[in-house]
Chains A and B, each alone.
Chain A
Amino acid sequence: NFMLTQPHSVSESPGRTVTISCTRSSGSIASNYVQWYQQRPGSAPTTVIYEDNQRPSGVPDRFSGSIDSSSNSASLTISGLKTEDEADYYCQSYDGSIPVVFGGGTRLTVL
């Protein structure tokens, strides 16, 4: 099985742009879609990006997703940061042997 590795934490100021990475340990990042979930304290996760770069309805276009085959990683970029974006973010993918793998999560602090 593969693992997804994320930075434990990132911080940035309001109005700026932040990027959170998610590196796949084995197998190609491009072989299976990557999703991103936002989890605010005390709440269930919600999807902010699915299928690498698709936004569910209601998610602002400040959120975007991409993959980079050269680094075998996916990225979540949040532009125009707001204090309400402060949360934990999890990447998730899969392969033929295991339907769901989560990254360890990244705590975003907006200060």
Chain B
Amino acid sequence: QVQLQESGPGLVKPSGTLSLTCAVSGASISNDNWWSWVRQPPGKGLEWIGEVYHSGSTNYNPSLKSRVTISVDKSKNHFSLKVMSLTAADTAVYYCARDPDGSRFFDSWGQGTLVTVSS
């Protein structure tokens, strides 16, 4: 059974860059899946950030595209998220998730990690 685990700093400064990694176990990141990042501000709903395929192909939410980079490292079986030019509005729980076979739904999620943007 696939397991996903987010890791990264819990506190980042305004105008800085958020960097998170999602370690994948129980499955190869090179299988025919898309790997996504989803975030949830405190007390609010889910927002899809973007996704990456093992080839390096990406798709992003148009509202975040200018500030976001998602990449994959097949040798480490993990994928990563960078969000630049942070503001307090980027404070959220960040989840990584798997879209099996490009089915356009998520069958596995990480537990999530809270990132707070504050000086």
Q: Give the interface of A toward B (CB within 8 A).
A: 1, 32-33, 35, 37, 39, 43-47, 50-51, 56, 90, 92-94, 98-105
Contacts and interface: CB of A to CB of B under 8 A. Distances in A.
Interface residues of B, number: 22
Given A33-B104, A44-B95, A51-B105, A102 B45 contact: yes
A56 B104 CA distance: 15
A50 to B, nearest CB: 5
Contacts of A44: 95, 109-112
B98 to A, nearest CB: 11
Contacts, number: 64
B75 interface: no
Interface in B69-107: 95, 99, 103-107
Nearest to B93: A44
Interface of B is mostly: loop
A105 B61 CA distance: 18
Interface of A is mostly: loop
Contacts of B110: 44
Contact of B104 (A94, A102, A103): A94
A92 B103 CA distance: 12
B107 A101 contact: no
B42 to A, nearest CB: 12
Contact of A45 (B46, B61, B99, B104): B46
Contacts of B105: 33, 35, 47, 50-51, 92
B46 A102 contact: yes
